[in-house]
């Protein structure tokens, strides 16, 4: 873990008390996520499971945050621009200590765990999201405001979200402004809610040639296995050393990672409820 800034030195560090391996912790998070969605009436299984490993690595190894002081002015910032994966963020934020609200309250009236992340109610959410395409620009504004303070801003987008025009407006402006403390992580799981119909061939990705597109907008780009903790750590750390331009990490992931039932049918499990039998199958897939 990178050193904490002076202002955060008194805050509890983001380390699990029993210091489990990231792999073990990810298994526990996947159980949390599956049980929360089952208990609360379903949700975005596929895209939450594809991104949760990257979120875990960021919060355990990269972000300088203090769960006991969620609004600490010297913290790094994080935005889940693909806000429909909120349950994955909530599972991580809860595990690292931002709150203790039960995940089973997800998207229920009276719970702070809104269907999409809401900064006005939940500690640890640095900005509200839900309408796709906006988070990267918010992150750019944060990065501009915090550039002189050596704070980093991380924004996680979906590959389908990269169809939004605002993403590319922002990509252009961030590059022109040479905002080196802005880091995009694109969860490239290869699917969006609906498949592209004929004449597009089966398996047509949401956006072709993502690396070339980001590079052409002036971003430094890495490709990495979105479920390889060691490589994610290494790439994220490398991104923070770049100062001349914004950086994009294309985290190649599997929609529904860890659950063969979901991986085999990513379109159905984009956002869904599951039967009791399917839930049992999912639990049986856990290590």
Residues binding other proteins (CB under 8 A): 73, 77, 119-120, 126-131, 133-134, 137-146, 153, 165-166, 169-170, 172-173, 176-177
- The half-sphere exposure of 175 on its side-chain side, counting CA atoms within 13 A, is 17
DSSP 61-118: II----TTSTT-TTS-EEEESSGGGHHHHHHHHHHHTS----GGGTT-TT-S--SS--
CB of 86: closest distance to other proteins in angstroms? 14
CB of 183: closest distance to other proteins in angstroms? 14
- Among residues 12 and 73, whose Cβ is nearest to other proteins? 73
Indicate the helix (H) or strand (E) that contains 249: strand 247-252
CB of 177: closest distance to other proteins in angstroms? 8
- Among residues 50 and 134, whose Cβ is nearest to other proteins? 134
Between CA 51 and CA 246 the distance in angstroms is: 21
Instruction: Give the sheet arrangement for strand 182-188, strand by strand.
Output: 77-80, 153-158, 182-188, 247-252, 220-225
What spatial distance separates the first Cα and last Cα of the chain, rounded to whole Å? Answer: 27
CB of 92: closest distance to other proteins in angstroms? 20
Between CA 252 and CA 60 the distance in angstroms is: 20
- Among residues 55 and 137, whose Cβ is nearest to other proteins? 137
- Among residues 170 and 247, whose Cβ is nearest to other proteins? 170
- Among residues 82 and 254, whose Cβ is nearest to other proteins? 82
Residue 124 and residue 100 in contact, taking contact as beta carbons nearer than 8 Å:
no
CB of 111: closest distance to other proteins in angstroms? 17
- Among residues 50 and 170, whose Cβ is nearest to other proteins? 170
CB of 173: closest distance to other proteins in angstroms? 6
Between CA 248 and CA 212 the distance in angstroms is: 11
């Amino acid at each position: 873990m990178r050193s904490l800034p002076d202002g955060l030195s008194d805050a509890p560090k983001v380390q699990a008390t029993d210091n489990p391996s990231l792999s073990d912790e990810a298994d526990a998070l996947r159980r949390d996520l599956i049980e929360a969605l089952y208990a609360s009436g379903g949700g975005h299984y596929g895209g939450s499971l594809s991104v949760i490993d990257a979120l875990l690595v960021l919060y355990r190894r990269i972000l300088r945050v203090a769960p006991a002081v969620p609004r600490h002015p010297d913290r790094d910032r994080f935005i889940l621009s693909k806000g429909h994966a909120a349950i994955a963020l909530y599972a991580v934020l809860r595990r690292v200590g931002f709150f203790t609200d039960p995940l089973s309250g997800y998207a229920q009236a009276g719970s702070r765990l809104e269907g999409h992340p809401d900064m006005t109610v939940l500690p640890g959410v640095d900005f509200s999201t839900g309408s796709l395409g906006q988070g990267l620009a918010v992150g750019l504004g944060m990065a501009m405001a915090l550039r002189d303070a050596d704070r980093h801003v991380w924004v996680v987008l979906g590959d389908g979200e990269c169809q939004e025009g605002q993403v590319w407006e922002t990509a252009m402006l961030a590059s022109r402004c040479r905002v080196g403390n802005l880091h995009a992580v694109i969860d490239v799981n290869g699917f969006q809610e609906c498949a592209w119909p004929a004449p597009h061939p089966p398996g047509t990705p949401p956006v072709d040639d993502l690396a070339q597109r980001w590079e052409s907008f002036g971003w430094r780009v890495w490709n990495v296995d979105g479920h390889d903790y060691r490589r994610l750590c290494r790439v994220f750390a490398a991104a923070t050393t770049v100062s001349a331009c914004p950086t994009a990490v294309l985290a190649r992931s599997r929609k529904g990672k860890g659950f063969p039932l979901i991986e085999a049918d990513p379109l159905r499990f984009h956002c869904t409820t599951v039967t009791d039998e399917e839930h049992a199958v999912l639990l049986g897939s856990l290590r």
